[in-house]
Amino acid sequence: MRLSSYPCKTCNMPGEAQPVTVEIGLNAVIVAVVSRSPRILAVSEADGDARDSLPFGPFDPARHRTFEASLRARVEKRTALKLGYIEQLYTFGDRGRQRLPGEEGKHMVSVGYLALTRTDAENNERLAEAGAHWRDWYGYLPWEDWRLGRPAILDQSILPALARWESGDEKSASVQRRSRIRLAFGLDDFPWDEERVLERYELLYEAGLVREAVIDGHCRDPESPAAGLAMRHDHRRIVATAVARLRGKLKYRPVVFELMPPAFTLTDLQATVEAISGRHLHKQNFRRLVEGAELVEPTGETLASTGGRPAALFRFRRQILDERPAPGLKVGGR
């Protein structure tokens, strides 16, 4: 969908006002949990750029009445994936957010979506044919994975670089930067908040610690440490937005079950919650939390496991949606 706009003639803009074509597109952060790893669907383009991008396509109002219908149809046509839970994240429209050669005079506005799905071998084969693949989201955001303890990248690279950035400006700006770093990264008396994913990414971008900042011309020091895998355009920012939204959503909506098979063990459910939240959970405390929330019920069947007793299988108890306004897993903070 294209719209034409012109700069305001009363603005102090150099040169003559030139027409700008605005395109509206749809970006999807499609999440699945594969082998207890939180994955997002990434797309590789055949233009020599090795960076991943998110599935993207223009909105065509002549064919689809809503953005969501257009997104679902486009994803299913290209990948054969049927999306389950889906929600709109944010509209990403900053100037310069999508730079491509020969696109002067065009501005891309993207409506971002979070989508949850399940995957299997048949779907993965179709994805590979479409040039898409599942990528562990901690490859893009390695400082967010606390399941095995505090990530080494924080103390070895990120925090020292942020300290240099903080002290490299005038006193008032330095104080403000220090306050933001403490809050976002849980320093001093502040706890680590797993939902502040976007705040952390934006601080790293401002400090020039992600490759996108160098590519965008925001950072003049290409030798700055690059944290995590870079993505095209502002797609890593969209991923950070989606991760933050999903982590928050776990606590008051039963969205985790969109990522689970119809029958599952409590161990697998815990591993999925840990994968999304990026934090380790005590086994007995988690089971008490699940039982107290009345989110699951036994199927009466078991799963034979190697080297131990068969594990009981459970399913999502859908009646909870009619019983409580906010049924989720309030796993708490660190």
What CATH code is assigned to 254-323?
Answer: 1.10.10.10
How far, in Å, CA of 241 to CA of 262, rounded? 28
What CATH code is assigned to 2-135?
Answer: 3.90.79.10
Q: What is the pLDDT of residues 237-260, one digit of tens each?
A: 999 999 999 999 999 999 999 999
Neighbouring C-beta atoms of residue 84, cutoff 10 Å: 14
What is the residue-averaged pLDDT of the chain?
Answer: 85
pLDDT of residue 112 exceeding 80, the answer is yes
Residue 135: helix, strand or coil by DSSP?
Answer: strand
pLDDT of residue 4 exceeding 50, the answer is no
Q: What is the pLDDT of residues 259-271, one digit of tens each?
A: 999 999 999 999 9
Query: What's the whole-model pTM score?
Result: 0.87
How far, in Å, CA of 293 to CA of 330, rounded? 9
Q: What is the pLDDT of residues 184-213, one digit of tens each?
A: 999 998 999 999 999 999 999 999 999 988
Beta strands in 45-189 (DSSP E): 56-58, 86-92, 106-116, 132-136
**Residue ranges per structural domain of the chain:** 2-135, 142-228, 254-323
What's the alpha-carbon Rg for the chain, to the nearest Å?
A: 22
Please answer whether residues 208 and 227 qualify as being in contact, where contact means their C-beta atoms are separated by less than 8 angstroms: no
DSSP string for 226-285: --S--BSTTHHHHHHHHHHHHHHHTTTS-GGGGGS-SSB-HHHHHHHHHHHHTB---HHH
Beta strands in the chain (DSSP E): 2-5, 20-34, 37-43, 56-58, 86-92, 106-116, 132-136, 296-303, 311-316
Please answer whether residues 276 and 195 qualify as being in contact, where contact means their C-beta atoms are separated by less than 8 angstroms: no
How far, in Å, CA of 284 to CA of 322, rounded? 27
